[in-house]
Structures are given as C-alpha cells and as structure tokens.
C-alpha cells in the first residue's frame, strides 16, 4: 500500500507530538505502541486514536512479539 508500518516507543507527552506528526503525513500505519505507563491519560489518548495497534509495556516484548510487523520505530523516552 506504499505506507510504512511503524511502532512507537514512548507514547506520552513528546511521544504524542511525534506520533501525531507522523500521522499527519498519511504515510504510516501505526501497528504497535509501547509505554511503561499505559494507564496514564496521555497514553490512553494515543491508544484510543489507534485502537488496532498492538500494545506493550516493555520494548523488549514489542521487539520479540511484533518486530516483524513494522518497518520503522520511533523512540521518545526521557
């Protein structure tokens, strides 16, 4: 389909801005989201925006379980 399948690690605060910037291009499919605090309001907002994306709290599990499903990854962690 010409779109890049992408995973995002760190989806709150700055991560949210990065995710939204990529989404605005229309060139990516968000296939996985990862954050240590999946219950925070700012992470819930992103998860609700991409309900089909797989969710992980540990980046190692994301890489092990979904690593073959994406072409690129963003990392926005402190």
Per-residue pLDDT tens digits for 7-17: 999 998 899 99
Q: What is the pLDDT of residue 77?
A: 84
Per-residue pLDDT tens digits for 15-57: 999 999 999 999 999 999 999 999 999 999 999 999 999 999 9
* Rounded Cα gap, residues 43 and 56, in angstroms: 12
* Rounded Cα gap, residues 70 and 46, in angstroms: 18
**Residues facing 5 on adjacent strands:** 29
Give the contacts of 75 (CB within 8 A, at least 6 positions apart).
9, 10
Of 19, 11, 22, 7, residue with least CA distance to 77: 11
């Amino acid at each position: 389909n010409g779109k890049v399948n992408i995973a995002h690690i760190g989806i709150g605060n700055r991560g949210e801005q990065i995710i939204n910037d990529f989404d605005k291009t229309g060139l990516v499919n968000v296939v996985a989201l990862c954050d240590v605090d999946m219950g925070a309001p700012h992470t819930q907002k992103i998860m609700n925006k991409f309900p089909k994306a797989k969710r992980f709290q540990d980046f190692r599990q994301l890489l092990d379980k979904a690593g073959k499903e994406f072409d690129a990854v963003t990392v926005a962690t402190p």
